[in-house]
Structure 1
Amino acid sequence: MQVYTIEDFYIFLKTYTETKDNLIYRGVQSSNFKLIPSIGRLKSQKGKALDVIAEKRMLDIFKHRAYPYLKDYKDDDLEILSIAQHHGLPTRLLDWTKNPLIAIYFAVEEPFINNEETDYSCVYIHKTDTLVKLSQNFDPFDIKNVTRYVPKHWDNRIISQGGLFTVHNNPYDEWVPKDLQKILIHKDIRKSIKITLNRFGINPGTVYPDLDGVAKHIKWLRTDIH
């Protein structure tokens, strides 16, 4: 599906909220962005891809240095990995949401990169076969398949964004599940969609429910709308 108008946007919402169940969504600024976790996109100083040994070393350093903030999770690598991802450490996790409005917001949030070899932002949609178990815990480095994980609500952003993760057994290669769908959003409609989302209550102040989000929302209102 391609979105060129606000009417297309409404058709997308009707199609993927009223008739589909058990969907998760991921919005990205460019349709060229592949489903590769951030650790798989990270390169060493010599331009080489990292390996699992380097990945585990990064997590060990994070656990050591962030210990005062992680005491409640010190024995839970999966939860610590989700916290590390939240704070910008490259991991084998990919961010998703259960809310299609949030996914579209992330697709149109930042100005479009005009030097991209595409005219589209993108929302990935993945249909899962089973409901995720909230109590599920597993070793993120010892899985055979991509596995969904819902973190505990240790941060308000997770709650407001309907956030969850996919944990990747091979985070260095692109993930292309057989039932993956791709919604393309043309760059010329991005601003109008963002304004419409604001009317729905989806804006920086609600997506990021803290002072940073409030300030970002006020700045956007004054510079992009007025």
Structure 2
Amino acid sequence: MKEHRVKNWTELQEALFAESWNESIGRFRSRFAFRGVPDENHDLSTSLNRDQGSFADHERGLLRAFRKYARGHFAPACESVWDWLALAQHHGLPTRLLDWTFSPYVALHFITENPDFHKVDGAMWCVDYHETNRLLPEPLQAQLRTEGADVFTADMLAEGAGDLASFDRLAQHPFVLFLEPPSLDERIVNQFALFSVMNGPQLRLDTFLEKQERGVRRLIIPAALKWEVRDKLDQINVTERVLMPGLDGLCRWLRRYYSPRPR
């Protein structure tokens, strides 16, 4: 894994779009997934295995109960365990999924959204899923080749693994794949959302990525740069109002936008 501390806005832009040129099609098409954290010390543990994995032993029970009770409140076309996991993650249930995005600017938003963290350095994880796909079990790699895809949909993944137990048995070694969630609502669509998932509830993605020599970089966003990044994101309309449609997102944006900058 490579780590790079950016110095200014211009250098940040170069780093965000590095390696995005695709010679075979003559277009700029990034192969990276992005995740931003407001404090560089935040890890990549999931809500399931955070805090010494307090929920990991209850993964099946949590999901079983969620499927039972969620049907009375929300009735999307959840046809597979992966649809249900995406829905559960979206609404705050502890799962083995981790939120990512195809958009580096959306990731920057989550680095700079909370002014309480503007005194500490933030970080952005950038992962080339073409590289991590090389470590997938052959049946999953074959499925991507057949579909001509780089990341999985819930339907695709359900064909290769109908439940979590069979998914975990696909390989003895740890691997990660990226899953594009169903468009449950505008929030998922506007955030250009993506999930990562590993083949075990206790596995940690940061531990996995730190061992990768190719396709992984971590950008450090200095605290001194955060206010400039935040103001420029507001100007290009990457805000809570857009990324979290509805009155809650609107109020979050207004409260932050009109808050005075601390001296």
State the TM-score, normalizing by the size of structure 2: 0.74
User: SS of the counterpart of 2:10?
Assistant: helix
Question: Aligned-pair distance for 1:141?
Answer: 4.1
Q: Is the alpha carbon distance of 1:209 and 1:17 closer, same or farther for their aligned partners in structure 2, counting shifts above 3 Å?
A: farther
Q: Report what 2:166 is aligned to.
A: 142
Q: Report what 1:152 is aligned to.
A: 182
User: SS of the counterpart of 1:149?
Assistant: strand
Provide, for residues 39-92 of structure 1, a one-character-per-residue CA deviation record: whole Å limited to 9, x for no partner: 01045xxxx73444x111111111122112343345422111111111111100
Q: Percent identity?
A: 24
Equivalent of residue 12 in structure 1, options 8, 11, 15: 15
Q: Is the alpha carbon distance of 1:92 and 1:14 closer, same or farther for their aligned partners in structure 2, counting shifts above 3 Å?
A: closer
Provide, for residues 140-179 of structure 1, a one-character-per-residue CA deviation record: whole Å limited to 9, x for no partner: 4432432221111111011101001111212323222313
Q: Which amino acid aligns with 2:97?
A: L
Q: Is the alpha carbon distance of 1:141 and 1:105 closer, same or farther for their aligned partners in structure 2, counting shifts above 3 Å?
A: farther
Q: Report what 1:123 is aligned to.
A: 124
Distance in structure 1 (CA, Å) of the matches to 2:220 and 2:110: 13
Alignment of 1:165-180 (within 5 A): 165-175=195-205, 176-177=208-209, 178=212, 179-180=215-216
Equivalent of residue 231 in structure 2, options 181, 191, 195: 195
Q: Report what 1:60 is aligned to.
A: 64
Q: Is the alpha carbon distance of 1:108 and 1:66 closer, same or farther for their aligned partners in structure 2, counting shifts above 3 Å?
A: same
Distance in structure 1 (CA, Å) of the matches to 2:17 and 2:67: 43
Distance in structure 1 (CA, Å) of the matches to 2:54 and 2:252: 34
Preserved contact between residue 161 and residue 207 of structure 1 (Cα < 8 Å):
yes
In structure 1, stretches of 5+ residues that fail to align are none
Question: Aligned-pair distance for 1:34?
Answer: 1.9
Q: Is the alpha carbon distance of 1:122 and 1:141 closer, same or farther for their aligned partners in structure 2, counting shifts above 3 Å?
A: farther
Distance in structure 1 (CA, Å) of the matches to 2:9 and 2:118: 22
Q: Which amino acid aligns with 1:127?
A: D
In structure 2, stretches of 5+ residues that fail to align are 22-27, 131-148
User: SS of the counterpart of 1:223?
Assistant: coil
Q: Is the alpha carbon distance of 1:95 and 1:218 closer, same or farther for their aligned partners in structure 2, counting shifts above 3 Å?
A: same
Q: Is the alpha carbon distance of 1:181 and 1:141 closer, same or farther for their aligned partners in structure 2, counting shifts above 3 Å?
A: farther
Q: Which amino acid aligns with 2:54?
A: A
Provide, for residues 70-116 of structure 1, a one-character-per-residue CA deviation record: whole Å limited to 9, x for no partner: 4334542211111111111110001110011001111111134489x
Q: Report what 1:211 is aligned to.
A: 247
Alignment of 1:72-111 (within 5 A): 72-111=76-115
Distance in structure 1 (CA, Å) of the matches to 2:78 and 2:190: 25
Q: Is the alpha carbon distance of 1:202 and 1:108 closer, same or farther for their aligned partners in structure 2, counting shifts above 3 Å?
A: same
Preserved contact between residue 76 and residue 184 of structure 2 (Cα < 8 Å):
no
